[in-house]
Chains A and B, each alone.
Chain A
Amino acid sequence: MFEIQKIIFDVFGLFQLPDIYHFLVPHAGVGGGVEAKEHVSLLPVMKSTLLFLAGIGTIFGIGLAVTAKRFAVKIDPKIEQVKDVLAHAH
């Protein structure tokens, strides 16, 4: 819990306040892995969550961008223009 306080203080540059952050950061009871646990230390879970989500987001983003670039289909703008000029039969 002190680690979280330290991180919060580092981020916001605050002074050490009384133990108010015990209320803000709840004690996790159940969760984490496949099996339910009695106690979960929140900090590593938060760290790995953020890292994992950022990582998977980056991977998917770059992958989708690369595929979109490599497999781009050229669509001739003339097709739309010609279709616009023609009678709309639908």
Chain B
Amino acid sequence: MSTEFAKIFELIVAASLINNFVFTRFLGLCIFFGVSRKMETAVGMSITFTSVMMISAALSWLVFQYVMVPLDITFLKIIVFIGIVAGFVQASDTVMRKVSPGLYYKLGIYLALISTNCIILAVPLINASEHYSFIESISFALGSGLGFALALIIMASIREKLELADIPAPFKGTPIAFIVTGLIALAFTGFSGLIKL
């Protein structure tokens, strides 16, 4: 039991810090730069992102393991995972609008952005290719979501300060954000080698 816990903990730490999707693999950058301008949107986005990622990882794990592997059609995984994520996001969008309009007003705009995000697609694909079990897949998704939330919140807090900073005119806006991202990514390489999986 304890070794299992240790494995899952290692998986979460590895997914969130060592192989951080934004700073190490450089995925999901368009949402990362689009949403990290303000702290409030960054927090809303990271909550929505983590929950959608966990549920879609669970759904696609079930479909992959119980339908696609027995039928021998795992080469379809990219197309099927895109469909599963998009369908789930659309359904949750519809349900949320009716059941809790307040939550929809807060997080609904991010749901539409999420449905075609590359991190959301990358997590089920990695789960499939690494042969993770159900619990491991969910914890990997949780770790990736936490890592993305961490990246967004760090970036949002820096960018809010950058608004007031004295930046040379050519670097204002997105270019300085890219430079800062590169610097944080450099800092995140310090986590590499922390855990051997």
Contacts and interface: CB of A to CB of B under 8 A. Distances in A.
A72 B67 CA distance: 31
A71 interface: yes
Nearest to B65: A34
Q: Name the 8 nearest CB pairs between A and B, nearest first.
A: A71-B98, A60-B87, A48-B71, A33-B72, A32-B72, A67-B94, A67-B91, A71-B94
A56 interface: yes
Given A71-B99, A72-B98, A49 B76 contact: yes
Contacts of A48: 71-73
Task: Give chain B's interface residue range (CB within 8 Å of chain A).
Answer: 20 to 34
Nearest to A51: B71
Interface of A: 31-34, 40, 44-45, 48-49, 52-53, 56-57, 60, 63-64, 67-68, 71-73
Contact of A52 (B73, B87, B95): B73
Given A33-B74, A64-B90, 4 more contacts: A44-B72, A48-B73, A52-B80, A63-B87
B83 interface: yes
B172 interface: no
Contacts of A68: 94
A33 B69 contact: yes
Interface of B: 63, 67-69, 71-76, 79-80, 83-84, 87, 90-91, 94-95, 97-99, 131
Contact of A71 (B75, B76, B97): B97
Q: Count chain A CB atoms within 10 A of each CB in B67, B84, B91, B97 and give the residue with the most.
A: B91
B95 A56 contact: no
B72 A52 contact: no
A63 B74 CA distance: 24
Contacts of A40: 72
A53 B86 CA distance: 15
Contacts of B90: 64
A52 B74 contact: no
A6 B18 CA distance: 54
Contacts of A31: 75
A44 B99 CA distance: 43
A44 B73 CA distance: 10
Contacts of B84: 56
Nearest to B90: A64
A64 B87 CA distance: 7
